[in-house]
Amino acid sequence: MSAAMGRPYIRDFLSTTALMRCAYSAVLTVHAEQADGRRRIAHRVIQYHARIKHGGRLTVNSGQERCISLPAERPHEVSAAAAALEEHVHSHTRQFIVALAIGLAGLRLCAHAAGSSSAADAHVDDSVRQVVANATAHDLRWSGPRTGPAARAHATVAIVAEDLRNGGVLGVAQGVREAAGVIGWKTRIVDAGGTPEGRRNAIQSAIAQKPDGIVLIGIDAASVRSLLDPLSDGQVPVVGWHVAAEAGAMHDGPVAMNVSTDPIDVARVTAMAAVEASAGRAHVVIFTDRTFGIARAKADAMAKVIRACSGCRLLEVQDLPISACPTKMAAVTRDLLARYGSDWNVALAINDIYFDYAAPELTRADIHSGSISMLSAGDGSAAAFLRIEAGTFQTGTVADPLNMQGWQLIDELNRLLAHQPVTGYVAPVHLVDSANIAFDGGPEGRYDPDNGYRNVYRSIWKR
């Protein structure tokens, strides 16, 4: 079975059987050799599962511990899970332990490097582990609004994007356009190109279009306040994504809503995941872009977590504009390697785009993927998903539900056009890693929650 077949299979199965009750536990050891390992694991699980009445939990151990809590009733679904998990194990792995541990199964994936000593684990507080566990959980519940005004007919929305080369900005823009198509609105998009002059020209162009509403994507609202002040009367409502350091309703200025996960929580989860994965021995470089308030807040919050870890060290904070990554990140990476050598084992960034240019440079420098772990406090780009799945330096990204947030932006505008307040909804933080990437849109290279948000918004809009 290919990974492409297996992972969606597990996802769909988990979403329908998560609450089944289980009864007792047992362990089966399987010795697998080379290419036929997957077939033998699947066969033995089927044979063993025939003696289990209610379901179980499947665990596969190799060089890393990988476990999936899996309520299972039908043997072929257990075998599908075993086959898909085995795709993640290197082809020369010789032994697997497949355990079916019965309990009230949770819908949780976990992954952590094996071999850390109890002395090293002492550097990691239990509260850190719990935060990371919560952030990596697969949650099918919709926690946003369920009521609101029906769709306004025949509106036009101007979308002002900070830089469409940024995967997060592009993902939200696509979500806005998808939602606008459903609600029945037209959209026009202007790309600012990541420069101050581009922002000014893009906003002026959007206002000149005389739209019914404006969506800012990734543009710091404070930096363009003077350009937006003519819209302060609310006649043309403005909402934004990642436009301020605080998520939710905005009460001071022309922008009414900042759609975002909580950037401080995002940053804390990212840094805590690094602390946990390193067993409390992370030696960290943080990459940020202090042009943006949200980036400053994220970097400061990550630094605070690292400084609070007794066995960790903050090597430095690198201030590099996101727009300069294509031309400067490779040289910065080389300089850091020369300065810190093997002492540098963790890279944290406010955006995945830094790693787009750092990872190739590390490869050229013959740095092993296990030597430096990269974790990003946003936004869950397709490239980041590929690196995580391939095990190429990046081990996690706290991904925004970009497409879902695009739908939320349209919903917030619809409320404002109906003279109703914004929802203030802030989506929960979600950390994508190698263990949970098979869910919530992961096979498509994005974080798109399996929580039914499209149907919820359609219901609200009566579409």
Kind and range of the H or E run holding 275: helix 263-277
Asked if 208 and 269 sit in the same domain, the reply is: no
Residue 441 within any structural domain of the chain: no
* Range ranked top by mean pLDDT from 52-56, 180-184, 232-236: 180-184
- In a domain, residue 327? The reply is yes
Same domain, 274 and 232: no
φ, ψ for residue 353, nearest 5 deg: -60, -30
Q: Are residues 69 and 172 in the same domain?
A: no
Higher pLDDT, 71 or 394: 394
Residue finishing a domain among 47, 80, 107: 107
pLDDT band at 95 (very low <50, low <70, confident <90, very high): very low
Q: Which of 256, 328, 262, 252 is nearest to 289 (CA)?
A: 328
Residue 260 has pLDDT above 80, yes or no: yes
Q: Residues 373-423: pLDDT tens digits?
A: 999 998 898 999 999 999 999 999 999 999 999 999 999 999 999 999 999
* Over residues 186-208, mean pLDDT: 96
Q: Among residues 358, 379, 398, which one ends one of the domains?
A: 398
Q: How far apart are the C-alpha atoms of 408 and 240, rounded to whole Å?
A: 10
- Asked if residue 187 lies in contact with residue 209, where contact means CB atoms within 8 angstroms, the answer is no
Do residue 339 and residue 405 come from a single domain? no
Radius of gyration over alpha carbons of the chain, in Å? 23
Look up tokens 């995002």; give the residue: 266
The pLDDT, as a whole number, for residue 307 is: 97
Above 90 in pLDDT, residue 77?
Answer: no
State CA 279 to chain mean position distance.
22
Q: Are strands 283-288 and 313-319 parallel, antiparallel or unpaired?
A: parallel
| Same-domain status, 246 and 332 | no
Question: Which H or E run contains 361?
Answer: helix 353-364
Total domains in the chain come to 3
Type of residue at 165: R
Q: Is 124 a member of any domain?
A: no
Handedness of CA 367, 370, 372, 374 (dihedral sign): positive
80 domain-assigned? yes
**Looking at residue 328, which CATH number applies to its domain?**
3.40.50.2300
In a domain, 442, yes or no: no
pLDDT band at 30 (very low <50, low <70, confident <90, very high): very low
Predicted confidence at residue 138, as pLDDT, reads 87
What is the per-residue pLDDT across 414-458, written as a single tens digit (0 to 9) for each? 999 999 999 999 999 999 999 999 999 898 899 999 999 999 999
Q: What is the pLDDT of residue 123?
A: 64
Same structural domain, 279 and 379: yes
Q: Looking at the structure, do residues 300 and 341 belong to the same domain, yes or no?
A: yes
Q: What is the pTM of this model?
A: 0.70
Shared-domain flag, residues 229 and 169: yes
Mean pLDDT calculated for residue range 86-92 = 35
* pLDDT tens figures, 237-246: 999 999 998 9
Domain-located, residue 435 = no
- Non-local (6+) Cβ contacts of 125 within 8 A are none
Q: What is the mean pLDDT of residues 24-47?
A: 32
Taking only the tens place, the pLDDT of each residue in 387-398 is 999 999 999 999
> What is the reported pLDDT for 226?
94
Q: What is the mean pLDDT of the chain?
A: 79
CB 28 within 8 A of CB 100: yes
189 in the same domain as 81: no
Specify the CATH number for the domain of residue 64.
3.30.1490
Are 22 and 68 in the same domain? yes
**Residue 279 and residue 391 in one domain:** yes
Each residue of 97-142: pLDDT tens digit?
Answer: 222 222 222 222 233 333 333 444 556 888 999 999 999 998 888 9
Q: Is 128 a domain residue?
A: no
pLDDT digits (tens, 9 = 90+) for 290-316: 989 899 999 999 999 999 999 999 999
Domain membership of residue 17 (yes or no) is yes
**Through-space distance between the first and last CA atoms of the chain, rounded to whole angstroms:** 39
Is residue 44 pLDDT above 70, yes or no?
no
Residue 266 has pLDDT above 60, yes or no: yes
Q: Tell me which of 107, 133, 164 is where a domain ends.
A: 107
Residue by residue, what is the 3-state secondary structure of 184-203? CCEEEEEECCCCHHHHHHHH
Say yes or no: 352 and 239 in one domain.
no
Q: Are 247 and 260 in contact (CB under 8 A)?
A: yes
Buried b (16+ CB within 10 A) or exposed e, 173-184: bebbbbbbeebe
Query: Which tens digits make up the pLDDT trace of 335-353?
Result: 999 999 999 999 999 999 9
| 173 pLDDT more than 60 | yes
- 141: tokens are 């519940």
- The encoded tokens of residue 255 equal 């922008």
Range(s) of the domain holding residue 369: 263-398
Q: Strand, coil or helix: what is 150?
A: coil
Give percent of the chain with pLDDT exceeding 70.
73
Residue 268 near residue 242 (C-beta atoms within 8 A): no
Residue 50: exposed, middle, or buried by beta-carbon count in 10 A (0-12, 13-18, 19+)?
Answer: exposed
